[in-house]
Amino acid sequence: MNNPVKRINTLISRGEGEMLDFKKEISSVHRIAKSIVAFANHHGGTLLVGVNDNGTISGVKAEEEKFMLEESSKKCCDPPIELTIHEWNIKGKIVLEVIVPDGIDKPYYALDEKGKGWVYIRHADQCLLASKIVVEVLKRRHGRKQTLIVYSDMEKALLEYLSVHSKITLKEYCKLMNISRWRAMKILVNLISVGVLNVFNTEEPEFYTLA
């Protein structure tokens, strides 16, 4: 932090990704809450406010942006998220380096204008709405309840299928075993939680593979 210009330029040169996002400005407390909870539900991350998508520095009015960020993190994130905000003057333009911690109370919800909570996760340079299965996996991985796996015919059939096929969707698994959506989801959540399966929600529909 001794050389803020070098530090910020180094971050910008990396480009947006799983743990770094550029924001020209904070236009909505509800909208920025999506980015904040996505980082908290992932492994944490950094928002650079006052930086355009192409990496050029536009600068911001620091106090206004800080107020919006604090309002968002405390009132639009559930549970609230404690941000660390550094203010840097880069050649006469103010850039805010906003550090979002890796959350310890996952899943975190971003509240919309009506007060409804939505879980977002970070993938590459995107904030994605989490599926019910991903939300349950976050609860399971970060809760106090341990996951006990009993390999019944349902689990064995799924693993055998994935040893031959590259992936499977929830609908395909329900059809394969002729089971309800609820039961299939429970099995998938268990297997993802203990690291047997991976989940990919960047495509529609979401699919699952062997880890």
Report the distance separating Cα 174 and Cα 109, nearest Å. 29
CATH classification code of 4-130: 3.30.950.30
Q: What is the pLDDT of residues 37-87, one digit of tens each?
A: 999 999 999 999 999 999 999 999 999 999 999 999 999 999 999 999 999
**Model confidence, pTM:** 0.91
3-class SS of residue 37: helix
Q: Which two tokens stand for residue 58?
A: 């536009």
Q: What is the pLDDT of residue 145?
A: 60
Q: What is the pLDDT of residue 4?
A: 78
Taking alpha carbons only, the member of 161, 114, 127, 61 closest to residue 191 is 161
Q: What is the pLDDT of residue 211?
A: 95
Q: What is the pLDDT of residues 78-113, one digit of tens each?
A: 999 999 999 999 989 999 999 999 999 999 999 999
The yes-or-no verdict on residue 1 having pLDDT over 80 is: no
Apex CA 55: angle with CA 66 and CA 98, to 5°?
25
CATH 3.30.950.30 domain position(s) in the chain: 4-130
CATH 1.10.10.10 domain position(s) in the chain: 135-210
Q: What is the pLDDT of residue 146?
A: 64
Q: Cα separations (Å) of 187 from 118, 194, 199?
A: 23, 11, 13
Report the distance separating Cα 120 and Cα 205, nearest Å. 17
Top CATH class, 135-210: mainly alpha
The Cβ-side half-sphere exposure at 80, using a 13 Å CA radius, reads 9
Tokens 């055998």 locate to 160
